[in-house]
Structure 1
Amino acid sequence: MLPLIYHPIYSDFPLPEGHRYPLQKYRLLFERLQALALPVAFCQPTTAQREIIDAVHDPAYVSQLLEGSLPLVKMRRIGFPWSESLIKRSLTSLGGTTLTVDQALRTGLAIHLTGGYHHAHYDFGSGFCLFNDLMIAARHALTQPGIETVMIVDCDVHHGDGTAALASSHPDIVTFSVHCEKNFPSRKPASTLDLPLPIGTQDSDYLDAFLPLLDLALAQHRPDMVIYDAGVDVHTDDALGYLSLTTEGIFQRDAGVLSRCAAHQIPVAAVIGGGYHDTHEQLIPLHEQLIQAAITHFPDFSASLEAS
């Protein structure tokens, strides 16, 4: 069974009318996957502990967020109004991504039905990201037996600027960002490996550029675990994306990542990442591609890990 990590709180915090964040997509995706009766097992996370957050972020920033005393200008940069439920939701999603790591190490592959908060920096948040769950999960993975190098493969359409900055002093965390070159954020600190793509890039050009480079990255860095941000804001209809992948192109991207990791016997902790549409239901078939790709490759992945 494929572990899927989810909590109802992911779609349960107050936002102003007309806010761009697709809050209900997490609930809708969960309900869709339940209805499909797939070979999956749902796991519910608990909130992350303060010490794992302080190990990545400025403790003063963390305290201000938790207490609701972060200056308004910094909350505006994040893009959410502060609320106790926002904080509880954020801490639970952090716990969810670390649980995804634990489940992936147990089974070979696990997926978090939120996550990918890659714009959060050491002492400030940005772009709907309070805390950087990818970096926190990578640091958590490195505490586990046999994990000496973690690669974060970030295929969200937006550059993983917070992750790149936070990981710059950690040679055991390899960052690989594939993104639209003319999109948020304006300042893009160097990842270990960056693949900026022009506006309007379509399926074939995207896959031809990305998958061979992924092959080289896996061969060069030989990670013991991959954390995969499978953002669907690369889709041609995305409100904030500017790339032009089709639904099938997203499936081929996800299948390409998972099949390569399976071939190298690398466990994968995946998060669904970004995706923006005024009608939240339109995002569900796109995020579903990751789960369908995972199920396609999961039996062989499990067998290869058990044989190793």
Structure 2
Amino acid sequence: MTDQQSGDGEGTERKRRVVRRRRDMDFTPVRNGMDFLLSAFDHLSQRDGVPGRRDLKYAVLHLQAAVEVLLKARLIREHWSLVFSDPGKAKKADYDKGSFTSCTVLAAVDRLNNIVTLQITKEQRQAISSLADTRNALTHLGHTGSVYAVEAQAATVLDFLLSFIHEELRPALSSEAAYVKATMEQLSTRLGQVKALVKQRSQRLERELRPLADRVVQCGECQQWAFVLGEDEPSCRFCLATCVDGHDAAVSQLERGTADAIAHCPTCEWQYYTVVVGARVAKNKTASVDLCFHCLTDYAREDVASA
């Protein structure tokens, strides 16, 4: 090999390293927002369940960043000009360079409601506004407010963001879909650790789940009594974990040790094992039943055994 060839080879390798480094730093808006959200959860999910003031501070800062980035990611999907502070003066060249003043987070909320026609409620908008105020106070004024107030704000916004990602971002993703799905799974496993969030989501879901109590079981992911059966895709209303069908949900219960056995259903046409023997439902958490996770028929143990 000649010196020139050797030099060319070293130059090519240097270029490859540069490309790899650039690729490592390539955070799209959705990836960036999910990364901030993971960090917020890291600071809220402490082993003893009680985040300290420093953890709460960084949880607020990173959660606010996640809200802003993810809301604007949805705006960009509608049209790139909507993230400018003044869309009427938006220039594509400035957008491509990232050289522009973007809209505020509340302006993003209003544009999502008025232009994209989403339904972000007044309560959710207020929670986002309060979080933004707290973030500004922490950054510029050395905020030393109540830990419980910060937890309550974070809980409400996290509650909103999980649903927003699930409903508004995931369905339209292509190359990032697997990443977002994997990140959501990580978030689901941590969700039950955030006490304030557990309380806030549970209270919000209580009225919704009460009439479904005879077909709500404990979720294997977050351990909350919020997993609703009898739907095309059985799912947890708390952490948004889903199963493919009733059979998948039944197998999950068996694998996690929350069922004695699974069996064929004598009533419905479903061909797989869907009856969970020894299941427990929210209507009476202390009594075990033999329930088909597909057609919701409740059997006596002898009926299932003889099927």
TM-score, structure 2 as length reference: 0.24
User: Which structure has the greater CA radius of gyration?
Assistant: 2
Bigger relative contact order, structure 1 or 2, given CA contacts below 8 A and separation 6+?
Answer: 1
* Larger fraction in helix: 2
TM-score, structure 1 as length reference: 0.23
